[in-house]
Amino acid sequence: MGFDFDGCIREVPGISVDCFTKHKFDECSTFFLSHCHSDHMTGLFDGFLSNFQSNKKLKLFCTVESEIILRNMASIDGIDATAALNRTVTKMVFDREYDLDIDGLPVTATAIRAKHCAGSCMFLFKTEYSNVLYTGDFRYYPKQLRHISALRDFHIYKIPLDTIYLDTTFLLGRLQSYPTKKRAFRFIKKEIRQFRQKNPNGIVHIKRPANLGSELMIRVLARVFKTKIHVEDKLCELYKDIDYVRPFLTNDPSETFIHLLPMVCVSILMVVRYSFLLDLTS
């Protein structure tokens, strides 16, 4: 998240996006969550648990998958968030317009796939005065932009955007040439194949950069190498209701040679047999 963004969409007063700090509940009653990475969830559980009882107007908009993940996160951490989520959450379907009334201002909100992690989205806000796009974290390439139907009028003409709230996390000089997912997966598959040819019983450890975001890699590696991917119990629980990921996972390390784990677990497992480590966090 940019350090100068405080969650406020200036063109739509009364809403906050990816910001749930306590003072926001004095200003806003309608909140939007783009995805379930911790830097976009600051104060969410604390804020909703402490405010939803007293603020009957409190609303939270997120995608269907993000709502599932929120529930699983709360359960894993022992947080009783069921009542708050049941009452406040609107589960948004991608590319469907939702008509809202924000303090008397008619607003149309649309969740657009962000291709970042499970459930991630961008938000398009339309009012009679302006069209505003909030990107959050996203992973699009120029050729893919033409296929975003929500940014076109009847899928033909580009709609004008008056304001873009652009997440610039990776706007760094050293990342001017950012590899495509296809190129990255090609490299990972090649490295694993070469390692396994030399060490047929070797173990592959992949250091993941975050709990969410490796869904496509999990599916690709599981299918290519015809094996499940080992993750710890917590991640199995997090993905338990995500149908396109959970079948490819196992919490039994003896069931596979590919382990997708945080660094602390990798350090422990490295002492076992011949090992190969792929660090995806650098």
> For 61-89, what is each residue's pLDDT tens digit?
999 999 999 999 999 999 988 988 999 99
Strands 163-166 and 157-158: unpaired
**pLDDT score, position 267:** 43
248, 219 in Cβ contact below 8 A? yes
Asked if 15-173 and 181-279 have one fold, the answer is no
**pLDDT score, position 132:** 96
Alpha helices in the chain (DSSP H): 24-27, 44-51, 64-76, 82-88, 181-198, 215-224, 233-238, 263-269
pLDDT above 50 (res 268): no
181-279 CATH pick, 3.40.50.150, 3.40.50.10860, 3.30.365.10, 3.40.50.12650: 3.40.50.12650
**pLDDT score, position 265:** 54
Q: What is the pLDDT of residues 191-239, one digit of tens each?
A: 999 999 999 999 999 988 889 999 999 999 999 999 999 999 999 999 9
**pLDDT score, position 269:** 44
Q: What is the residue extent of each domain of the chain?
A: 15-173, 181-279
Sheet of 121-126, strands arranged across: 97-102, 105-113, 121-126, 131-136, 163-166
Homologous superfamily (CATH) for 15-173: Ribonuclease Z/Hydroxyacylglutathione hydrolase-like (3.60.15.10)
SS3 call for 181: helix
